[in-house]
Amino acid sequence: MINFGRRQFFHSAIIGAAAFAAPGFAHDVIFQSGTGTPAGDGPSPILLARAKAALDTHRSRIHVTDRLAIADFSKPSRDPRFYIVDLKSGKATSFLVAHGKGSDPSHSGWVQSFSNSHGSEATSAGAYMVGETYFGQYGESRRLLGLEPQNDQAEARAIVIHPAWYVNRSLIQEQGKIGRSQGCFAFDQNDIGQILQQVAPGTLLFADKA
């Protein structure tokens, strides 16, 4: 696997409940930090199991089945909490990702709640299918289609993957957290190339708190 960061942390995520694990998936995941992010641990094993179950549930609509992405919003925004998991090798890479203003009105750096409502500027939980690439106000971005009732307005709300100036290590050093989006999955401009390369159209993206 390509080394995306200077520092690496290896962690085995043990899934205790076999009922949640889809057949054929690796149970041990080795975590590797993305560009500019410090080494960190992996996503919650509970979320990893839920993401695998979602991949199995939505398999008819998901074209990429050898990897998935997880946004673990149990963690603060200062942590690299977005994981791209290679299900064949059991390896994953982590990156910083912003959550929506409406999910954290006081800008604490932690997701307080989710919303699927128009105008909420909040993050929505659940399984998404990654859609087509487009060029918007932030540059190269990727659309998202919500697959569940709790996030089925994602496309109408223009919830997407995009780079943003307010997601970077300098802000964490200054204020202990990154900025907030309007509900989108916003990434460091230095990481977006890797994100778009690995989280291709047809990939499952799962977001939630453990």
pTM of the model: 0.83
Q: How does pLDDT run across 36-53, given as a tens digit for each residue? A: 444 457 788 999 999 999
Q: Given a cut of 80, is residue 9 above it in pLDDT? A: no
Structural domains of the chain ordered from first start: 18-105+117-208 (2.40.440.10)
Q: Given a cut of 90, is residue 12 above it in pLDDT? A: no
Contact 55, 66 (CB under 8 A): no
pLDDT of residue 15: 31
Contact 82, 93 (CB under 8 A): no
